[in-house]
Amino acid sequence: DMQLTQSPSFLSASVGDAVTITCRASQVINNDLAWYQQKPGKAPKLLIYASSILQSGVPSRFRGSGSVTEFTLTISNVQPEDFATYYCQQVKSNPYNFGPGTKLEIK
Amino acid sequence: EVQLVESGGGVVQPGGSLRLSCAASGFKFDDYSIHWVRQAPGQGPEWLALITWDSSFMDYADSVKGRFTISRDNRKNSLFLQMNSLRADDTAFYFCAKESKYGWQGMIEGLDYWGQGTLVTVSS
């Protein structure tokens, strides 16, 4: 099965900072990657699909990039509501697995 | 407003069965594939299964293949997950989620709406 790794696992930031999360796939997935945000007790929320396309209603401070096997999610000007856990998901092939997550915490 | 509401979770003994339901509203249900995803407490999400808009194709993760069956009733805007031979490691919150891509062209894009989840606990 394809494996996804995310780095870092934990990230501390202050409001107004820019942060970057990396997701690496063990096989080529072209741009078949989605990013989600999850807050405690809530379902994941789709942020980005096809590696870089912003889901409707998601603020433009979220930006996805990358292809082949390496992808990044960048949040510029982090806001208080952005503190959450972020997951990548490969949508190339079964199983459509998620990465282990990156928890963004307030510094 | 798109809504997905799961039900049917509960406590079941190892080896037992449970049937989850997902009631959809706010979108044309029979235009989209729907997925089941689970998440054990403190863990990341795990994709389990998908069913296409017309039930012509179902796909499963190896961890549940042969034990779980996904189905849908487009007349009732409902999705189901029949879970048999349950094990302790099936304990998790179970979510239904709408595929963002219209129709089915043999690939998925992302899960754009999720339910609130229903808890399944497998324990003796």
pLDDT tens column, A62-77: 999 999 999 999 999 9
Chain B contact for A89 (CB, 8 A cutoff): yes
The pLDDT value recorded for residue A88 is: 98
Closest residue by Cα to residue A52 from A23, A14, A94, A18: A23
Cβ contact A95–B47 (<8 Å):
yes
H helices then E strands: how many in chain B? Answer: 0, 11
Cβ contact A43–B108 (<8 Å):
no
Burial of B45 (0-12, 13-18, 19+ CB in 10 A): buried
Cβ contact B45–A94 (<8 Å):
no
Size of the A and B interface in Cβ pairs below 8 Å: 61
Write the DSSP symbol of residue B74: G
Categorize the per-residue pLDDT at B28 as very low, low, confident or very high, splitting at 50, 70 and 90.
Answer: very high
Asked whether residue B114 carries a pLDDT value surpassing 90, the answer given is yes
Interface test with A, best of B51, B109, B113 (most A CBs within 10 A): B109
Cβ contact B111–A95 (<8 Å):
no
Whole-angstrom CA distances from A29 to A4, A72, B9, B35 are 11, 14, 34, 20
Rounded CA-CA distance A61/A79 in Å is 9
DSSP string, A23-92: EEESS--TT-EEEEEE-TTS--EEEEETTTEEPTT--TTEEEEEETTEEEEEESS--GGG-SEEEEEE-S
The pLDDT value recorded for residue A100 is: 97
Cβ contact A98–B44 (<8 Å):
yes
Q: Would you say A105 and A19 are in contact if contact means Cβ atoms under 8 Å apart?
A: no
Asked whether residue B106 carries a pLDDT value surpassing 90, the answer given is no
Cβ contact B117–A43 (<8 Å):
yes
The residues pairing with B19 across neighbouring beta strands, listed in sequence order, are B82
Alpha-carbon gap: A30 to the closest alpha carbon of chain B (Å): 13
Contacts for B69-77 with beta carbons within 8 Å, 24 or more apart?
Answer: B70/B36, B72/B34, B74/B29, B74/B30, B77/B23, B77/B24, B77/B25, B77/B29
The pLDDT value recorded for residue A39 is: 98
User: Which residues in chain A are contacts of B40 at CB distance < 8 A?
Assistant: none
**Mean pLDDT, to the nearest integer, of B44-48?**
98
Chain B contact for A94 (CB, 8 A cutoff): yes
The pLDDT value recorded for residue B6 is: 98
Give me the residue from A43, A97, A98 closest to B114, CB to CB. A43
pLDDT tens column, B52-105: 999 999 999 999 999 999 999 999 999 999 999 999 999 999 999 999 988 888
